[in-house]
Structure 1
Amino acid sequence: MLTNILTNPTILTLICCFGSFGLVNYLIPRIIFMVNHHNLSEQPGHRSSHTRATPTMGGLAFFVALILNLFLFKELDHDHIGLNLAAALTLVFIIGLKDDLAVSTPRARILVEIIAIFIIFFHPGFHSFSFNGFFGVYRAPQMLIDGLNILIILTIINAYNLIDGVDGLASAIGISVFSMLALIFYKIDLQFYFILALSLISMLLAFLKYNFSHKQKIFMGDTGSLIIGFCIAFLCLRFLTVNSLLYNYFAFKPENKLFIITGVLAVPFFDMLRVIGVRLLQGSSPFTADRNHIHHILLDLGLPHYKIAVILGGLNYVLAILIIFLSAHLSSLGMMAMLFIIFLLFLSVFYKLKTRIPIKQN
């Protein structure tokens, strides 16, 4: 009977989703107690929108739930990637925990992320894909493909990490991304990835309760944002490397699959590009921490955290739907032009919003 349950996708989906929600909901108060007991709470800095020390390391609950989930639906893991993913997540968890306890250098973090990526690459199906006519290219040397995959994953992980600036925002973006990826994997009947995406949504929903709480507030911290970011990157990579014949289930042109990923992560990507551009124009390092993110602009305009999370989470959906719609009608060259126009509109909107921020009097 247990075997039947663990091989029934519907029952397994319900168990993993409700189990993930329940487990994170159970673990978070205990993590808060542990962090407070050992005085490990994050002290607010000059960039923080909070005024008191707040427990962090909420990502510890994500890690525990993910490892248990990978065990539960391993029977649906027809690609046999679960063990690689568990090992890679463990490395990401360690560097995230290190960041929450004592800040790591960007070089150390990126090095660990690359090692985690190579663990995924030990599976032959995860580091080779056709460009399907992207800018007229169909095939490329394997080293170029691997380099592109590494760049894509690092970009996704760090774009998501950078968006984690106000309560609920990282969760809202994560839920929007995982819901779209879940729909994609459901459509092409890749059940392992579909259940993984739904489980992650359940974890983020459970976490939101405490992230918005006044009495039991907790941040996901770098532990959480790196784990969630890595899971997003992992699922995006799987989408890019599926058999090209499976793209027949979708309306978009196969040559535009890279733009689909850009659309699904539009807000984190655009915000990251915008912030890097602003820092370079100011003569600062791209890694310099500041208050130039779009959530900082909305925060300085007086919007509460939950409204910022809803607005930017909704904007991510809108941009994703628009880009996916356009990808069904335009070539990759046309999509690049449209993406540039959308990005310019994005810049102009937030530039105008920034000019409306009241000047603080000394």
Structure 2
Amino acid sequence: MRAYLLVAIITAVVSYLATWAVRYLAKRYDITPAIRARDVHKTPTPRIGGVAIFFAIVVGIIAAGSFGWFESVFRDPGPIWAIVGAGGLIVVVGLLDDLIELDWTAKMGGQIAAAWILASSGVQIVSLPIGGLTVGSFGVSLAITVFVVVLVMNAVNFIDGLDGLAAGVVGIGTLAFFIYSYVLAQQTSPTDYFSIAGMLSAVVLGAIAGFLPHNFSPAKIFMGDSGAMLLGLMMATSAIAVTGSIDPATVTRNDLLPALIPLVLPVVILLVPLLDLLLAVVRRVRRGQSPFAADREHLHHQLQDLGHSHRGAVLVFYHWTTVVSLCLLLFFWIDAAPVIIIFGVWMIIALIHTYWPVFRRVTRARSSLGK
């Protein structure tokens, strides 16, 4: 654990300083786009924070590789550098979109190319922990992997609409995923707790921890499409890497749920963003627009319409992400019945938190009528 903590701290320090440097350069050279109609912020703010996040992630990976602890992870460095290459490509695509607004087909092409780099390097969904089930041929595995990576990238990108929202949601989910991958490594390899999924999670956590102080409301810099898609890429990659560390043939009926966590966790964490993505695509296609056309009807906008402040809407997302992440992790240690009870009670609390402005308005209205 100390090795992972050290890597996370190094990455966090680099991320904080790199974000400060990118902020300075953006102001110095006026790399600050105009405010759009759909934007919530009122002051022109740089949208190139993804460059700092990527730089910190690369430094974190290099730092991990210099430590003997991660020797088993870097024994085959091909997949790791493929991850760096895919991350670099998606940052370039996102940066171009942030600065000149790429056509959606070009943006999608870049996403598919980055996902293909990952999948072709061996970071693939090859098998599922369901009675030894395999996905199929190399082509089928590659196609499924590309689809999953592109889907997660877009889900994270779609919720990047409020200060600190995407960074915090991915950070909470990545922390849960790191805990899971660390415990799994302890159980499957008692003499070596180090894994590519654990290392990536620690690096991403550090990058987010260093970036968030600059990005939380009121944000001084945004991660932009470059940062949001990069974080989505890393989250999907960690999940896919964990599925490769589980031998599906050894998974019994009782072990099925814990074994499925690496596949289920990213989906559950991003359930609300994925729902937002689906609703946005349907909404825009019905209007005859591109699925990537921007609007101001995302769920975080609707939370503000309910009466939540900027920070309040972000905290609602944090709350729901914490609920689903921790409750899903609990299945790894305790029986289903207590977890379902905990989830049910916590979900009621989260619902009250979500609709609190509505309850407050109704209470005030009744009080006014009573007078």
**TM-score between both structures, scaled by the size of structure 1:** 0.79
Aligned position for 1:70: 61
**Cα distance between partner residues in 2 of 1:329 and 1:13:** 29
1:154-191 deviation digits (Å, cap 9, x = unpaired)? 10001110110000110111112211210121012243
Unaligned runs of 5+ in 2: 186-193, 337-346, 362-371
Partner of 1:201: 205
Q: Structure 1's 133 and 111: CA in aligned 2 closer, same or farther, altered over 3 A?
A: farther
Residues matched between the structures, number: 325
Deviation track 1:230-272 (CA, whole Å, cap 9, x = no partner) reads 1111112213333325867956165676434321322221221
Q: Is the 8 Å Cα contact of residues 56 and 221 (structure 1) preserved in structure 2? A: yes
Alignment of 1:104-183 (within 5 A): 104-124=102-122, 126-130=124-128, 132=130, 139-183=135-179
Asked whether 1:87 is paired with 2:92, we answer no
Q: 2-side partners of 1:115 and 1:122: how far apart?
A: 10
Query: Cα distance, 1:37 vs. partner?
Result: 1.5
Amino acid aligned to 1:141: S
* % identical equivalent positions: 23
Distance 1:253 1:115, change over 3 A: same
Alpha-carbon separation, structure 2, partners of 1:247 and 1:64: 38
Counterpart CA distance in 2 for 1:326 and 1:281 is 40
2:160·2:228 contact (CA, 8 Å) conserved in 1?
yes
CA distance in 1, matches of 2:168, 2:5: 22
> Which is further off, 77-86 or 173-182?
77-86
* Structure 1 residue 30 corresponds to structure 2 residue 8: no
- Match of 2:55, as an amino acid? V
Q: Where do 5+ consecutive residues of structure 1 fail to align? A: 1-8, 331-341, 357-362
The answer on whether the counterparts of 2:174 and 2:205 sit within 8 Å (CA) in structure 1 is: yes
Mapped pair 1:184 → 2:187: no
The TM-score normalised by the length of structure 2 is 0.77
> 1-side partners of 2:174 and 2:114: how far apart?
21
Go from structure 1 to structure 2 and tell me whether the alpha carbon gap of 1:168 and 1:247 turns closer, same or farther (over 3 Å shift): farther
Secondary structure of 1:188's partner? helix
Q: Is the 8 A contact 1:253 1:329 kept in 2?
A: no
> What is the CA RMSD across the aligned residues, in angstroms?
3.2
CA–CA distance in structure 2, aligned partners of residues 247 and 97 of structure 1:
42
Q: Which letter maps to 1:210?
A: H
Structure 2 counterpart SS, 1:52: coil
Q: Say whether residues 1:276 and 2:274 are aligned partners.
A: no
Residue of structure 2 equivalent to 1:56: 47
SS for the counterpart of 1:147 is: helix
118-127 or 179-188: bigger deviation: 118-127
Q: Does 1:308 align with 2:313?
A: yes
Shift of 1:145: 2.5
Q: Counterpart of 2:300?
A: 295
1:206-241 per-position Cα deviation (integer Å, ceiling 9, x unaligned):
222111365x71111112112111111111221333
Q: How far apart are the structure 1 equivalents of 2:293 and 2:46?
A: 24
Q: 2-side partners of 1:251 and 1:87: how far apart? A: 34
* Residue equivalent to 1:6: none
User: Offset of 1:282 from its aligned partner?
Assistant: 4.7
User: 2:99 is aligned with what amino acid?
Assistant: L
Contact 2:176 2:326 in 1 (8 A): no
Q: How big is the shift at 1:288?
A: 2.3
Partner of 1:101: 99
Task: Give the secondary-structure state (helix, strand or coil) at the position aligned to 1:47.
Answer: coil
How far residue 30 of structure 1 moved from its aligned partner, in angstroms, is 1.8
Partner of 1:338: none
Aligned ranges 1:243-282 → 2 under 5 Å: 243-245=246-248, 252=257, 254=259, 258-282=263-287
Q: Which amino acid aligns with 2:274?
A: F
**How has the CA–CA distance of structure 1 residues 290 and 89 changed in structure 2, closer, same or farther, with 3 Å as cutoff?**
same
CA shift digits 1:9-56 (9 cap, x unpaired): 62x323322111211221222211211121111221110111121122
What's the secondary structure of 2:257's corresponding residue? coil
Alpha carbons of 1:61 and 1:325: their partners in 2 closer, same or farther (altered >3 Å)? Answer: same
